[in-house]
Structure 1
Amino acid sequence: MVAAEAEEIAKLLYGVRGSATRFETEKDDTFLLDCAGRGKFVLKIAHPSERVEELDFQVALLRHLEQRAPDLPIPRAHRGVDGADLPIVTTSDGERRVVRLITFLCGVPLDRTTSTAPQRERIGEVLAKLRHSMADFSHPADDRALAWDVTHLLDLSDLLSFIPEGGKRAWTVRALERFAEIKPRLDLCRRQVLHNDFNTSNLVVDHASPQFLTGVIDFGDAVRTAIAVDVSTALMNQMPKTIDHANRRDLFDEPRDVLRGYLRYAELTDEELRLIPFLAMGRLAVRALLTCWRAEIFPENSRYILRHTEAGWAHLEWFNSVSTAQISDLLTREEP
């Protein structure tokens, strides 16, 4: 979809006029809408395959958070001119598409900049507060089976053929084997609706702000899952893009800063702390399996799909090099 059509859709459904610029995305048509004096918005025109129930879940969750925790830096969902949460438009291609308009949160995605230990602790604090704010939320679509929910990792084993042969496939297979060993313990862990995608692309930051973290975006992977899964995803995404073996204790040096901030506002059991490193490893395997598969199906968008995958191979190799007991102790041992 071109920007001009997006501008017309925004005017028709929301009564806002602005200049649209396309964001790079995997499925949706998503635009930054600059409305000058009225500010900036994000216009999301859902892919035709998106289920309305799941989109309604996302909007309902944002509205819940707006009521429960108005100080958290999350987007606000706007209603259409007719009061609809999810207005529908027929595009120039004749497709019926669900449309959402949400506030734009200023800052820079964390994957384009750096962070200090105190700033990473702030990220952990916000994740913990977000967990508490979602604790009493429910929706008919919140327990859908989501591929990016690590609890379903073993269901993706058929995608192993898309992983390049050699070390990369061997590391991924080993990650699946280790995950299978801890899966019965994971099934007993506490669950609730959670963000489930606290990655550095979805964290908007401003180094000039005392809060540092100025936005948590993209609730598209929110789901009812284990609390430990949500934390593990956040920690995995703080792992270094490159590994300096000579000066690094392990992959969790930076993630421990996030965990330290998280534990100031939300507790984790010893069992959850022992499982989180395995779940971080599992998330790396999920990313490898899904992105390699999707890159082959959609080669024209492979650069975007694989943008975070390369760094993950070194991480999987590292997990493969340490024992199961060492992985289990990564977050429970005393800090030096």
Structure 2
Amino acid sequence: MSEMMIDQLFSTMAAPVECSEATVLLWQHYGLRGVASPLNSERDANFHIRGYDGREYVLKLTHPAEDRAVTDFQSRALLHALARDPTLPVPQLLPRSDGQPYAVVNMADGSQRVLRLLSYLGGQPLHQLVRSAAQRRHLGETLGRLDNALRDYVHPAAHHPLLWDIQHAERLQPLLAETPDGPQKAVLADWLVHFIQQVQPVLGGLRRQVIHNDLNPHNVLVDPQDQITTAGLIDFGDMVEAPLINELAVACSYQLSSSANPLDTAGELIAGYHAVCPLLAEEVAILYELILTRLCMTVTITGWRAARYPENSSYILRNNGLSWDGLQRLSALGRARATDYLFQLCQMKGQA
């Protein structure tokens, strides 16, 4: 396997962290006391804190194998985004008692992790709600605002290797090699060849910047009253510098419909994004294929990880079935019809 595939973030499970240890760290580093309850996470140890001060927080402890520079990259991105757009609904990184944004702590199991405390954003997770056009449009607008705020953010670790990075989907080949033979594997392998030959060469000429890169419905909070307004964009753990259009490809892969044109619902999100962060013709031209690539990645990576960690498979596979279904329906639509629709949606003429 390649160095990318044996990345310890994905190939090893970190020792669990007890709630009692989390509350001790909360007091030691932030001077706060509260009750901790664990939150699901693919890599980190995260806790919801109900503080005795009446406030709520999220306490995060990175995976011991995560590069410290990457943690710094993610942390300072939050600070940068809120400095550029203070009303963005993203978590606020709260300083330690000594004013530092985070701390390296020694854990009971002998490992070292980076400790961070974030504000807790209220709201209902998007995956629990009935979807609507207004809701999708507001989400697109909010995502566009985030990318505008991150437009000038630079960091030495922004190019770190990440398994979920669409621009390097070729890194999935060793995972596919371990996948049992069958019709699904054949579809995924064929698309990966198409990506490498036809899609990847185009990406180098597109606009690039740091993006959130994981706007799935579990990472979106919505106002529970109007069920439209985006109340929170959370989990910045998959951030990377990439072609800007990859941001929309990820988001759209979770917004497909069961209609003859599965992009019609994603189109509402795209329209909201485009109104705030205008797309270029060459970006619209490649979006369909990037959405398909993300769907292939989701099916491949989650299937591979679930086989290794069956005890966490329900969490790992939460988007697998929908992604495979979306991949089949989007493939049936075809590139020509899909791209024509996307150009009309963005009120552009012709195809780049």
Per the normalisation by structure 1, the TM-score is 0.93
> What is the RMSD computed on CA atoms of the aligned residues?
1.7
**What is residue 109 of structure 2 aligned with on the other side?**
93
Maintained 8 Å contact 1:61/1:137: yes
- The equivalent residue for 1:291 is 302
1:309 paired with 2:320, answer: yes
CA distance in 2, matches of 1:7, 1:111: 29
2:199 is aligned, of 178, 182, 191, to 182
Distance 1:40 1:109 in 2: 16
Return the alpha-carbon distance in structure 2 between the equivalents of residues 120 and 184 of structure 1.
31
Q: CA deviation at 1:102?
A: 0.3
The 1:108–1:266 alpha-carbon spacing in structure 2 relative to 1, beyond 3 Å, is same
Residue from 250, 255, 271 that aligns with 2:266: 255
Change in Cα spacing, 1:199 to 1:210, as seen in structure 2 (3 Å) is closer
Match of 1:43 in 2: 59
**TM-score normalised to structure 2 length:** 0.89
Task: Show the 5 A alignment for 1:1-336.
Answer: 1-180=17-196, 181-209=198-226, 212-240=229-257, 243=258, 248-333=259-344
Q: Secondary structure at the match of 1:232?
A: helix
Alpha-carbon distance in structure 2 between the residues aligned to 1:266 and 1:257: 14
Give the letter for the 2:201 counterpart. P
TM superposition shift of 1:249: 2.3
CA contact (8 A) 1:46 1:98 kept: yes
Check whether the contact 1:163–1:288 (CA below 8 A) recurs between aligned residues.
Answer: no
For 2:341 and 2:199, locate their aligned partners in 1 and report how far apart those are by CA, in whole Å. Answer: 15
Answer yes or no: is the 8 Å Cα contact 1:204–1:215 preserved in 2: yes
Aligned mates of 1:334, 1:143 — CA distance in 2:
32
Task: Decide whether the 8 Å contact of 1:11 with 1:17 is kept in 2.
Answer: yes
Report the AA paired with residue 169 of structure 1: K
Q: 1:265-303: per-residue Cα shift (whole Å, max 9, x none)? A: 111112211211110100011112211111122222112
CA contact (8 A) 1:19 1:34 kept: yes
Runs of 4+ in structure 1 off by over 6 angstroms are none
CA distance in 1: counterparts of 2:315 and 2:262, whole angstroms: 25
Per-residue CA shift, 1:88-132, capped at 9, x if unaligned?
A: 222222222210000000011101112210111000111111111
| Equivalent residue number for residue 6 of structure 2 | none
Q: CA shift at 1:209, angstroms?
A: 4.5
Measure how far apart 1:231 and its partner are: 1.0
Q: Which secondary structure state, in structure 2, belongs to the residue aligned with residue 201 of structure 1?
A: helix
Is the contact made by 2:129 and 2:227 (CA closer than 8 Å) also made in structure 1? no
- Residue 261 of structure 1 aligns to which amino acid in structure 2? G
CA contact (8 A) 2:267 2:345 kept: no
Q: What SS does the corresponding residue of 2:218 show, helix, strand or coil?
A: coil
Uncovered stretches (5+) of structure 2, i.e. residues with no partner: 1-16, 347-352
| Secondary structure at the counterpart of residue 263 of structure 1 | helix
Greater relative contact order (Cα < 8 A, sep 6+): 1
Q: 1:314 to 1:164 in 2, by over 3 A?
A: farther
Counterparts of 1:114 and 1:51, CA distance in 2? 38
Q: Is the 8 A contact 1:206 1:214 kept in 2?
A: yes
**Aligned partner letter, 1:292:** G
Offset, 1:327: 4.1
In 2, Cα distance between equivalents of 1:60 and 1:73: 16
Shift of 1:234: 1.0
Letter in 1 for 2:155: H
Q: Runs of 5+ in structure 1 lacking a partner?
A: none
Query: How many residues get paired?
Result: 329
Does 33-42 or 158-167 show the bigger shift? 158-167
How far residue 233 of structure 1 moved from its aligned partner, in angstroms, is: 0.8
